[in-house]
Structure 1
Amino acid sequence: MQKVTELNLERGMPDAATAVRRLKDGLMTAKRQGAKAVVVIHGYGSTGVGGTIRVAVQKTLDEDQLRGLVRFWFGGTSWSWRKKEALSVCKDLERYERRINGNEGVTVVILK
């Protein structure tokens, strides 16, 4: 069983609403499959000021409806100070460190 799942929301260049639907479906599927963490790839946005998908994903992760599913989440730029906490829940995330650390186009979701 894979304890970490990657969820690429950039594939196909969807709009933010489609990406959010994929996020919710992907998180539920990962949980059903026994994953402890999901590395969400949403990109940073072509404008260089933060894409709408990244903003929509992170806003969605804070919604009450996901409280039963999401333990906590953080962006790749917070890896250095959230690493210990994340690895205490899912040691397998260590294999993804190079892709996560400092990456504004990635959000890590720790599942309940």
Structure 2
Amino acid sequence: MLLCDVCGNEIGARIVFCPFCGIKQERELVCKKEYIQRLVNLEHGLPFVEAALKRLDRAVLEAGQQGVTQLTLIHGYGSSGKGGVIREESRKMLDFMWMNGELKKIVFGEDFTKSSGEVRDLIRRYPILGQDRNLNKANRGITLVFF
């Protein structure tokens, strides 16, 4: 239910003229997409790189089909101290998917901070994202993907 722009009475979302005051409603009928978030652990079970990339590809495909808004991928940072192979290869694959138009936005965990203009824009669009436990943690072991 929505409120009439003039009299404030509750009216149906698709009502053009208020049944109480008769005034035409000037709002746009916009259906907001529900915010659906998924978490996928690419390093679960300590897979080889190929298995992790297949898991990533399947997760992105399923998320797109299911109308998921945001996917948080856990790829780990690696034990070398300079980033693991799964992390590097999954980010290359995500960049390729983004360039092909399969993804709207990619935010690396280390860039997921309120000081980033891109992240502030995402939080304005999806306010619940401001409560994400990874926000401002500079977590190099995750990547956020938006559809």
TM-score by length of 1: 0.85
- Alignment partner of 1:61 is 2:97: no
1:106 matched to which residue of 2? 142
Is the contact between residue 23 and residue 57 of structure 1 (CA under 8 Å) also seen in structure 2?
A: yes
- Alignment partner of 1:39 is 2:75: no
The gaps in structure 2 that reach 5 residues or longer are 1-33
The amino acid that maps onto 2:119 is K
How many residue pairs get aligned? The number is 110
Is the contact between residue 98 and residue 105 of structure 2 (CA under 8 Å) also seen in structure 1?
A: no
Is the contact between residue 3 and residue 90 of structure 1 (CA under 8 Å) also seen in structure 2?
A: no
Is the contact between residue 3 and residue 92 of structure 1 (CA under 8 Å) also seen in structure 2?
A: no
The gaps in structure 1 that reach 5 residues or longer are none
Which range moved further: 99-108 or 36-45? 99-108
1:27 matched to which residue of 2? 60
Which structure's relative contact order is higher, taking Cα pairs within 8 Å and 6+ residues apart?
1
Is the contact between residue 97 and residue 103 of structure 2 (CA under 8 Å) also seen in structure 1?
A: no
How far apart are residue 99 of structure 1 and its match?
A: 2.4
The alignment partner of 2:112 has SS state of helix
Match of 1:11 among 34, 37, 44: 44
Which range moved further: 67-76 or 17-26? 67-76
CA RMSD across the alignment? 2.0
How far apart are residue 88 of structure 1 and its match?
A: 4.1
2:31 matched to which residue of 1? none
Match of 2:83 among 50, 57, 66: 50
TM-score by length of 2: 0.66
- Does the C-alpha gap of structure 1 residues 95 and 28 become closer, same or farther in structure 2, counting only changes over 3 Å? farther
**Which structure shows the higher helix fraction?**
1
How far apart are residue 67 of structure 1 and its match?
A: 2.5
- Does the C-alpha gap of structure 1 residues 99 and 83 become closer, same or farther in structure 2, counting only changes over 3 Å? same
